Amino acid sequence: MTLLARLLGVQISQRTGYLIAAVLSASIMPMTGIMLPAANQRLRELAALEERGRGEEVDREELKVMVQRFGWLNAIRGGLMALGGLVGVVTLLG
């Protein structure tokens, strides 16, 4: 029984452990390609207004919400990558 199987309490092969790690790591691609650019686009628009000296047109509350959303999306991406790496290492050591 591998270390990952003991931690999860299920019987899985080493191959399955690596497959789980790969899927977790690859799962950030849709978020990186679709969700982050959508959130980032509005942030770029607000930054462009600020650069042109039109900062008074920037809704500070909207800016705060967009930055928080971008932060959460990045945190989720980081968590998925970390979990994929952890599963891979635990599978390797198992």
pLDDT digits (tens, 9 = 90+) for 13-62: 888 889 999 999 999 998 888 888 888 898 899 889 989 988 888 889 99
pLDDT score for 4: 61
CB-CB contact of 57 with 81 (8 Å) = no
Provide the pLDDT confidence category of residue 12 given band limits of 50, 70 and 90: confident
For the chain, what are the domain ranges? 3-93
pLDDT score for 2: 60
pTM for the whole structure: 0.75
